[in-house]
Amino acid sequence: MHRRDQRSLDWLNFFLADVRDGLGPYLAIYLLAVHKWEPASIGLVMSLAGIAALLTQTPAGALIDRTRAKRTVVVVAALVVTGSCLLLPFVTSFGLVAITQTLSAMAGSIFAPAIAAISLGITGPKAFTRRTGRNETFNHAGNAFSALLAGGLAWLYGPVVVFYLMAAMTLGSIVAVSLVRGEGIDHDVARGFSAGEGDSHQASGVKVLLANRPLLVFAVCCALFHLANAAMLPLVSQKLAQVNLHLATPLTSACIVAAQLVMVPVAMLVGLKADAWGRKPLLLAGFLILPLRGALYVFSDNPFWLVGVQLLDGIGAGVFGALFPVVVKDLTQGTGRFNVSLGALSAAFGLGAALSPGLAGLVVQSQGYDAAFLTLAAIAAVAFCLVWLGMPETRNYRGDLQQAPRSAMTPSAS
């Protein structure tokens, strides 16, 4: 891999860490602290944005499969996410807030398939696992860095500072992606073909998802994982805001930093060892952490305890983030449908993430925070059992789609 491309991808993942998910948990703090919204309203806005992202995930993957302007697409998406969030301090109504966050979420659906495709197109499939682990390492390092800055600056200037920090990180990501060599990306390899086997006229559809049982099982596992996981940190943020409103943003930053610092070595370990150890043992470890974390949150409202429990997120999310594109690549290699499949599975876990805040908000309003955490922990336990019983080891997976003749994957057969 060309050293310039490697360094550029490192910095792209570092700077996009603060951009790709929009405001994330800071949105809940901002709406609670500045606009005095109820938890159910906050959850509804976040769910609406998640649903919008869900609807654009598969088309985003298809776009990345088709386009050779992958770097330009990343730049446009980063600008849309940041612009939508920068409008938030100037709008107050539920409808306008929902629109800005919906636009941000839709644009954010581009990043995962784009970065995966650029990485695969540069490294090829054999080095993709290690590159994905490195992508996640720099992504988590960027998250930790931006969260530290957000916490410190919010202490001095208030929650609105996170908007301007995102703008600065966006500029950094634009510079980084512009330094990736366009000629270094093999666009056929980037969509899951072997070098020289691509057909630019082959349709990007969802047949590969519907015909591949392990991919379907993995989609359900991803949806359940994010249904359980997405609302946990926003709920913790709301609890922290109730304990001390002035400390809510800095303490939320501490939660994020604590988890991200754990994710850095976890992602690095997954990238280095997933080819040797296999995918499934690491997946099981990552999925097991989530129900444990949800159950531990109910033991205390002490801010130090909550931050400590959040460290476990570094293991679960670190493993999942590093393995997700690798498993999809394993299950779709040779089909030319890598990015559209990645988008479809991102839509599956996007569905879980979109429903999670709304579900948690309703449980909080009717039964309290402890009941919400235990509900999420139960869902996570189901996800773990499904990975254990239903997922094969994908390291050397050879399914029917990979062995099918090329004629079976032509547009007319799709």
Average pLDDT over residues 348-354: 81
**Contact, 112 vs 77, CB < 8 A?**
no
Residue that the structure tokens 């959850």 belong to: 43
Among residues 60, 184, 62, 168, the alpha carbon closest in space to that of 118 is found at 184
- DSSP 8-state class, residue 408: G
Q: What is the DSSP string of 180-205?
A: S-GGG--HHHHTTPPTT---TTS---
We report the CATH number of the domain holding residue 269 as 1.20.1250.20
Give domain status of residue 411, yes or no: no
Does a structural domain hold residue 59? yes
Using the structure block, give the residue that is written with the tokens 């491309």.
5
Rounded to 10 degrees, the C-alpha dihedral 131/137/140/142 comes to: -90
What are 196-250's pLDDT values in tens digits? 555 544 544 556 667 788 989 999 999 999 999 988 888 887 777 776 666 666 7
As given in the structure block, the two tokens for residue 348 are: 């599956």
How sure is the predictor about 374, in pLDDT bands with cuts at 50, 70 and 90?
very high
Residue 405 predicted with pLDDT over 70: no
Tens of pLDDT, residue by residue over 51-70, are 888 888 888 888 998 888 89
Residue pLDDT, tens place only, 380-399: 999 999 999 999 898 877 65
Cα separation, 123 vs 134, in Å, equals 12
Q: With respect to residue 409, please indicate whether it lies within any of the assigned structural domains.
A: no
Q: What share of the chain is helix, strand, coil (3-state, %, to 5)?
A: 80, 0, 20
Percentage, residues of the chain above pLDDT 90: 22
pLDDT band at 310 (very low <50, low <70, confident <90, very high): confident
Q: Is residue 410 part of a domain?
A: no
Domain count, the chain: 1
Give the integer Cα–Cα distance in Å for 176 and 207: 35
Query: Using one digit for the tens of pLDDT, what is the confidence trace for 245-303?
Result: 666 667 776 777 778 788 889 988 998 988 889 899 999 999 999 999 999 988 888 87
Question: What does the pLDDT average to over 35-46?
Answer: 74
Query: Residue 67 half-sphere exposure, CB side, CA atoms within 13 Å?
Result: 17
Measure the CA–CA gap between 356 and 389, rounded to whole angstroms.
24
Give the number of residues written for the chain: 414
Dist. CA 288–CA 290, nearest whole Å: 6
Which pLDDT belongs to residue 200?
47
Closest C-alpha to 413, from 191, 207, 197 = 207
Q: Give me the domain span that covers residue 378.
A: 3-194+202-400
Give the pTM: 0.76
Computed over its alpha carbons, how large is the radius of gyration of the chain? 20
Q: Over pLDDT 70: what percentage of the chain?
A: 86
In this structure, is residue 368 part of a structural domain? Answer: yes
Sign of CA dihedral 280, 401, 272, 228: negative
User: Is 414 part of a structural domain of the chain?
Assistant: no
Quick one: pLDDT at residue 401? 44
- The predicted structure's pLDDT at residue 402: 45
Per-residue confidence (pLDDT) for residue 217, from 0 to 100: 92
pLDDT at position 408, please?
A: 39
**Lowest mean per-residue pLDDT among 99-108, 137-146, 187-196, 286-295:** 187-196
Nearest to 316 by CA among 140, 145, 141: 140
Hey, how many other C-beta atoms are within 10 angstroms of the C-beta on 413?
Answer: 12
Mean pLDDT, residues 155-179 = 83
Give the burial class of 333: count Cβ atoms within 10 A of its Cβ; 0-12 exposed, 13-18 middle, 19 or more buried: buried
Average pLDDT across the chain, whole number: 81
- What distance in Å separates the CA atoms of residue 33 and residue 248, rounded to the nearest whole number? 9
The predicted structure's pLDDT at residue 280:
93
Domain-located, residue 408: no
Helix (H, G, I), strand (E, B) or coil at 278: coil
Q: Is residue 227 part of a domain?
A: yes
For residue 162 the two structure tokens come to 């996170």
82-91: average pLDDT: 80
Q: Helix 280-296 vs helix 303-332: angle between axes, to the nearest 10 degrees?
A: 150
Does residue 373 have a pLDDT over 80? yes
